[in-house]
Chain A
Amino acid sequence: MGIVLQVSNLSVVLDRKIIFEKINFALEEGQTLVVLGPNGAGKTVLLKALIGLLPYQGEVLWKKKTKIGYVPQRVPLNRDIPISVAEFFQLKKVSMNETVEILKQVGFAESSIIGTQLGLLSSGQFQRVLIAWALVSQPDILFFDEPTAGIDIGGEETIYDLLQAAKVKRNFSVILVTHDLSTVYTEATNVLCLNSKMSCYGPPEKILDPKNLQAIYGREIKYFRHSHG
């Protein structure tokens, strides 16, 4: 397995405030890095810096020709744009068949969704459309920012099941920002924890002890490890 992304001494300063500094990690093909931390710790800033949306200091080295998929935490719906779901995918030249197929994969059983105006979707539906939008380009690495926020998938199926299914088909790397500690053991190869004072990095078994969690979140975190059957 080759390294997709190598990050050395990454620091971000916005409006003269240090968001985080000297972050180091590496991500190999097919691995999942979960980024944990309280609100305001700079998790979204980290993703945006890696993608190139925000300025940073340090070194971010990508494997050549790495294709990025990005599911942002929130995209405010601009209802002034009369664009259907199918036309949204056409903006990046995705065919109708591919659009229907990828939408099925993210839980839209009915194909009528493709004719629906983007501005009329619920926030959960829109979030799922964004996930499909990111997956359809067959990325080598997927940036997932708080993917469960606003998701309304029915039954037992979660957005992580969708992610697992997609990964079975194509073994891409994932950087996942989440608050959801229960996903860490099932999803993460490594964990990067961020808060304004410290950061830690390593496999979940080593990182997620109660003492570390308290240091990250600034309070006692009760967490019971369980496995999905």
Chain B
Amino acid sequence: MDSHLALQLVAGSCVAGTSAYLGSLMMTKRMGLVGDALGHVALPGMGIALLLNLDTSLGALFFLGIGILLIWKLAHITSISLEALAGIIFVTSLSIGFLIIPKPELLESLIGDISRLSRFGVTFSVIISGLVFVAVKRIYAGMMLMNISEDLAFVEGITPKRYNLYYLICVAMLVSVGIKVTGSLLVGALVIVPSATARVLSSNLKHYVRISIGVGILSNVLGILTSNYLRCIPGPVIILFSALSFIVAVGYRQVFKVS
């Protein structure tokens, strides 16, 4: 195996595994589409970075930072749900992105291509994924309790406003590296499909988290190796493997009538 392929597998697995871990939280928060929406918020930043010959993750991170601060602030001014606000910011960003990005760069921003990842990109992806993984681990119990009951969480000393901000920062950081793997169009799938598969198969939290991460990493490895063999873009292949795992899980549940 050549070293570039090995680096892609390492970076992709770190991003996909952490995305799936965060996704397991997102799914129980009934906010499955927030990752998807934030993927599109990143688009203008990616376009500007491409035009300036900078790494797309840096441009994406800048726009995502502004995006999540707007979403978080608006949520507390208007009482509109985070998901709906993310939707508003997402369509606005998408429109700006379409206007300012030339067509070839637009396609690259939308679809992504992990096989073109630079050494800086690999390092950046691994570090950001690692940081987000640690952050998610720290807020996991509190967020899960909030998802069960915000009142119970509050009594236990958890401030929903603060936790929601941490959570949005985690999503934004992860999306900024996830776009390298799948592009802004499909980044939401990295987050939500593995946890949907895990939800179908698991009856407790431990299995749910482990299956989510496992499916995320496995889809990434199979996707990158297959696309390398077939000489096509990896992002969509990764997502198709992930979707396949969901179909197999639903089939398994139907056949074996798992409760």
Which A residues are closer than 8 A to B by beta carbons? 48, 51-53, 68-70, 72, 75, 78, 80-84, 87-88, 90-92, 115, 117-118, 120, 130, 133
Contacts and interface: CB of A to CB of B under 8 A. Distances in A.
22 contacts: A53-B154, A70-B151, A70-B155, A72-B149, A75-B149, A78-B147, A80-B27, A80-B28, A81-B205, A82-B202, A82-B204, A83-B144, A83-B148, A84-B203, A84-B205, A87-B205, A91-B144, A91-B145, A92-B156, A117-B203, A117-B204, A118-B148
B154 A83 contact: no
B139 to A, nearest CB: 12
Contacts of A83: 144, 148, 204-205
Interface string B131-151: 000000000011011011101
Given A51-B154, A53-B154, A87-B205, A80 B199 contact: yes
B231 interface: no
Contacts of B207: 82
Given A82-B207, A92-B145, 13 more contacts: A53-B154, A68-B155, A69-B155, A70-B155, A72-B149, A72-B152, A78-B30, A80-B30, A82-B202, A83-B204, A91-B141, A120-B259, A133-B152
B56 to A, nearest CB: 33
B28 A81 contact: yes
Contacts of B147: 78, 81
B208 interface: yes
For chain B, which range describes its interface: under 10, 10 to 19, 20 to 34, or 35 or more residues?
Answer: 20 to 34
Contacts of B144: 81, 83, 91
A133 B148 CA distance: 13
Contacts of A78: 28, 30, 147-148
Most buried by A among B30, B199, B206, B259: B206
Interface string B175-206: 00000000000000000000000010011111
Contacts of B154: 51-53
Most buried by B among A69, A90, A92: A92
B230 to A, nearest CB: 35
Given A53-B154, A70-B155, A75 B148 contact: yes
B199 A82 contact: yes
Contacts of A120: 259
B256 to A, nearest CB: 17
Nearest to B140: A91
Where chain A touches its partner, the secondary structure class is mixed
Interface in B196-229: 199, 202-208
Interface of B: 27-28, 30, 141-142, 144-145, 147-149, 151-152, 154-156, 199, 202-208, 259
A8 B146 CA distance: 31
Contacts of A91: 141-142, 144-145
Most buried by A among B28, B199, B202, B203: B203
A82 B205 CA distance: 6
Nearest to A130: B152
Most buried by B among A69, A75, A82: A82
Contacts of A72: 149, 151-152
- Nearest 4 interchain pairs by C-beta: A84-B204, A81-B28, A70-B155, A87-B205
Contacts of A87: 204-206
Contacts of A82: 199, 202-205, 207-208
A133 B141 CA distance: 15
A117 B199 CA distance: 12
Contacts of B155: 51, 68-70
Nearest to A47: B151
Most buried by A among B28, B142, B152, B207: B152
B205 to A, nearest CB: 5
A48 B207 CA distance: 35
A111 to B, nearest CB: 16
Nearest to A51: B155
A206 B21 CA distance: 58
Contacts of A88: 148
Most buried by B among A68, A72, A81: A81
A88 to B, nearest CB: 7
